[in-house]
Amino acid sequence: MREIDLVRLLQIPIQCFKQRKEGAKMASIEQDLMVMLQHLPVPITITWQSGRYHWQCLDGHGSSNDLVDATGQGLNYLIASLKTDRDSLTENKSGFPA
């Protein structure tokens, strides 16, 4: 009679459950990040479409396979836009470039 290794049999469903649970947690973190970015004073909207994360901020937009990269692109665009706006305001007030 063949002995059944119950521990081994139970490890597979437990591992699958852990992966689903961790995946669900990651999806929740991704959702939370996307909502937080959307509620910034200057919002960055990130959506998931066709296997890519698409970002939009002010007049800029882009996409990436990775949420962190898409977030970085959106934040870099926002910072560059704010810096450009600040520099043009400083230049206009003083008459000299910032």
**Residue-level pLDDT at 18:** 47
The whole-angstrom separation of Cα 64 and Cα 51 is 9
**Residue-level pLDDT at 69:** 95
**Residue-level pLDDT at 6:** 43
Handedness of CA 68, 70, 71, 73 (dihedral sign): positive
Q: How do the pLDDT tens digits run along the chain, 98 residues long?
A: 444 444 444 444 444 444 555 566 667 888 889 999 999 888 999 999 999 999 999 999 999 999 999 999 999 999 999 888 777 766 666 565 54
pTM to 2 decimal places: 0.63
**Residue-level pLDDT at 82:** 85
**Domain boundaries, given as residue ranges, for the chain:** 6-94
Question: Which residues pair with residue 60 across a beta bridge?
Answer: 57
Question: Which residues pair with residue 45 across a beta bridge?
Answer: 56
Name the amino acid, one letter, at 48: W
